Amino acid sequence: MVTTFRVHAATDRDADYDVVAGRGVLAELPRLLAERCPAHLYAVVTDSRVAELHAKRVVALLEQAGFAARLFVFPAGEWNKVRATWSALSDELLAAHVGRDGAVVAVGGGVVGDLAGFVAATLHRGIPVVQVPTTTLAMIDASVGGKAGVDVPAGKNLVGAFHPPRFVLSDIDTIATLPRNQIAAGLAEAIKHGVVADAAYAAAVAAAAGGCLGRSPEALEPIVTRGIAIKVEIVSADPEERGLRQVLNFGHTVGHAVEARSGYGLLHGEAVAIGMATEAWLAEEVGIASPGTRRAVLDLLAAYDLPCTVPPALTPDALLETMQHDKKVRAGAVRFALPCCIGRMAQSADGAWTVDVPSEKIVRAIEANRQ
Ligand SMILES: NC(=O)c1ccc[n+]([C@@H]2O[C@H](COP(=O)([O-])OP(=O)(O)OC[C@H]3O[C@@H](n4cnc5c(N)ncnc54)[C@H](O)[C@@H]3O)[C@@H](O)[C@H]2O)c1
Ligand SMILES: [Zn+2]
């Protein structure tokens, strides 16, 4: 079954776009490109793993349809989502004469999507991008919402742009080649979507763990599709993260710090799992979450064997320092998006979806959740 979601991108209605998801939908790429993103040359950007598995096939598909397409490959891994790779890719696209009438097709996980999206956002001051996510994480989360960017020494995603895609095409069959730990890491974001917006979905994600980890398309399809729907609903209500969209940062304040401080030894989704476990503890501790919320979060993570404790090498002080560089920091205080219970997030008295937490409480939460 093919499902199409409409995403509201900004005040400018012309930037609204569709997410098309389903099994085998990659075959629709040439038709959708001709219709929604005509270009003289398509720069298919991917990483070294996805090149062989899927992106070369995408180039062949475009050439068979009579389009001009070129493949651009950078080395796989979160540590390559940096300015140096953005710079090298930008030069390669320029050398290949990708002009203002060109377009970028990002084929891969969230690293490819964020990097290729940022190249597209800046090349000739912005050329169109199409997202073709191939990981559970990129389908459910990264490809929807128009955020692009790179990691810098001060922290994750601190340099970037909003650059909504012309469309997103999520072929669930591409997950068939994804390693088990990557599937689990992606479904950590699905658990997050459930915790922030839909308790029934959180339960369904946990119940489907066996099938999803076993790459059963029948198990994956409803989980991925509903995960996309939740992300679409939230970003459409708040495309530029002025309010509600902040709920999606649950688990990410601690998670990003853990990810950066671990030297990217943990996958993004694994770091977010640790972040959610720690922030759920914090939410109970400050009296925002009802008792049992943290236990429920831990049970959801356990279904996917996701980590839930901060590695011992990471000290609370070091993590706090990294958090203080985070985008979510306002006027020096670290702000957290915290749940009241599974399926509902807390809103503070001023209407914001984040709350200030004093440093001592953050340090205690990390200490209590360290191995
Ligand atoms: N822009 C956003 O709104 C947003 C949201 C969430 C996460 N992100 C970003 O997404 C990134 C994480 O994304 P990710 O988990 O997809 O990581 P990733 O892109 O590094 O992909 C994980 C690994 O799987 C490989 N891979 C990808 N597709 C495959 C397939 N079908 N079969 C086999 N191997 C495959 C990749 O080569 C890589 O080695 C982080 O940088 C995070 O910050 C962005
Ligand atoms: Zn994330």
pLDDT digits (tens, 9 = 90+) for 110-138: 999 999 999 999 999 999 999 999 999 99
Looking at the CA of 117, name the nearest ligand.
Answer: 1
Write down the pLDDT at residue 331: 60
Which atom of ligand 1 lies at the shortest distance from residue 117's CA? Answer: 1
Say yes or no to pLDDT of 329 above 80.
Answer: no
Which atom of ligand 1 lies at the shortest distance from residue 49's CA? Answer: 37
Structure tokens at 118: 């940022």
Give the C-alpha separation, 210 to 54, whole Å. Answer: 25
Write down the pLDDT at residue 332: 61
Q: What is the mean pLDDT of residues 36-59?
A: 98
Q: Residue 154: pLDDT band by 50, 70, 90 thresholds?
A: confident
Which atom of ligand 1 lies at the shortest distance from residue 81's CA? Answer: 41
Give the C-alpha separation, 273 to 12, whole Å. Answer: 35
Catalytic center residues: 125, 147, 189, 231, 241, 245, 249, 252, 256, 268
Write down the pLDDT at residue 349: 83
Number of residues that make up the chain: 371
Say yes or no to pLDDT of 13 above 90.
Answer: no
Q: Which of 44-48, 197-201, 309-313, 357-361 has the lowest mean pLDDT?
A: 357-361
Nearest CA owner, ligand 1 atom 5: 142
Which atom of ligand 1 lies at the shortest distance from residue 112's CA? Answer: 19
- Burial string for 78-111 (b: 16+ CB within 10 Å, else e) reads bebbeeebbeebbebbeeeebeeebbbbbbbbbb
SS3 345: strand
Q: What is the mean pLDDT of residues 163-168?
A: 97
Q: Find out whether the beta carbon of 174 lies less than 6 Å from any atom of ligand 1.
A: yes
For the segment 257-293, what is each residue's pLDDT rounded down to a tens digit?
A: 999 899 879 999 999 999 999 999 999 999 999 999 9
Write down the pLDDT at residue 337: 97
Q: Find out whether the beta carbon of 144 lies less than 6 Å from any atom of ligand 1.
A: no
Write down the pLDDT at residue 68: 98
Within 10 angstroms of residue 52's Cβ, the number of other Cβ atoms is: 12
Write down the pLDDT at residue 10: 80
Write down the pLDDT at residue 324: 87
Tell the residue number behind the tokens 């989704």, with chain if given.
269
Q: Find out whether the beta carbon of 109 lies less than 6 Å from any atom of ligand 1.
A: yes
CA-based nearest residue to 269, from 167, 186, 174: 186
Give the C-alpha separation, 257 to 170, whole Å. Answer: 29
Pocket test for ligand 1, best of 53, 107, 135 (most atoms within 8 A of CB): 135
Tell the residue number behind the tokens 């030069």, with chain if given.
91
Q: What is the mean pLDDT of residues 209-222?
A: 98
Q: Find out whether the beta carbon of 161 lies less than 6 Å from any atom of ligand 1.
A: no
For residue 112, the CA-to-ligand 1 centroid distance in Å is: 7
Give the C-alpha separation, 207 to 201, whole Å. Answer: 10
Sheet holding 167-171, edge to edge: 3-7, 17-22, 167-171, 129-133, 102-108, 41-47, 69-74
Write down the pLDDT at residue 348: 87
CA distances (Å), origin 352, targets 20, 339, 347: 32, 13, 6
| Interacting residues of 45 by C-beta distance below 8 A, sequence separation 6+ | 72, 74, 89, 104, 105, 106, 107, 108, 112, 115, 116, 119
Nearest CA owner, ligand 1 atom 21: 109
Q: Which of 83-92, 321-330, 336-345 has the lowest mean pLDDT?
A: 321-330
Q: Find out whether the beta carbon of 135 lies less than 6 Å from any atom of ligand 1.
A: yes
Write down the pTM of the prediction: 0.95
Give the C-alpha separation, 338 to 248, whole Å. Answer: 10
For the segment 297-307, what is each residue's pLDDT rounded down to a tens digit?
A: 999 999 999 99
How far from the centroid of its chain's Cα atoms is residue 304's Cα?
18
Q: Find out whether the beta carbon of 81 lies less than 6 Å from any atom of ligand 1.
A: yes
Write down the pLDDT at residue 264: 75
Q: Residue 172: pLDDT band by 50, 70, 90 thresholds?
A: very high
Give the alpha-carbon dihedral of 233, 249, 353, 326, to 10 degrees: -140
Q: Residue 2: pLDDT band by 50, 70, 90 thresholds?
A: very high
Return the axis-axis angle of helices 180-197 and 217-237, rounded to nearest 10°.
50
CA-based nearest residue to 314, from 275, 348, 279: 275
